[in-house]
Amino acid sequence: MFEMDHVAIQTRDIAGSVAYYVENFGAHVLYQDTTWAFLRVGQGKLALVSPEQHPPHVALRVDEATLERMATSVGKPIDRHRDGTTGIYVDDPQGNVIELICYPPGETVYESAIVERGPFTRD
């Protein structure tokens, strides 16, 4: 199963970009450090990433079995991210980057801080 998770855009000023999205669009900060931030904007999520660490991308949420199958299919190791999520990056035929992301139950920073509101949606 594939479900839209987030869009990631690059910024050289994480804190300034977070402030902009919070002040202008009512974004809620789900996670933030000096090189990366994860925001909820309405019903969607936006990742603010450092160009040195992440490409701009669209992320599709998958379960663990799907992530393992896709990683094997494309010959890529599964990465564990600082927030506890796991994933891989793949390119579509036009060179757009797609992240396949999984939220292993009980292993992400979002488990205790965010209340589940429905399938794959957190606030």
Angle formed at CA 11 by CA 7 and CA 16, multiple of 5 degrees: 110
Which residue range(s) make up the domain with 65? 3-122
Mean pLDDT of all residues in the chain?
90
- Banded model confidence at residue 46, pLDDT cuts 50, 70, 90: very high
| Average confidence (pLDDT) over 4-18 | 97
- Banded model confidence at residue 119, pLDDT cuts 50, 70, 90: very low
pLDDT tens-digit map of 73-117: 999 999 999 899 999 999 999 999 999 999 999 899 887 554 333
Q: What CATH number does the domain containing 113 carry?
A: 3.10.180.10
Q: How many domains does the chain have?
A: 1
Letter string b/e over residues 25-38, b meaning 16 or more CB atoms within 10 A of that residue's CB:
eebeebbeeeebbb
In this model, does residue 122 exceed pLDDT 60?
A: no
Report pTM.
0.84
Letter string b/e over residues 91-105, b meaning 16 or more CB atoms within 10 A of that residue's CB:
eeeeeeeebbbbbee
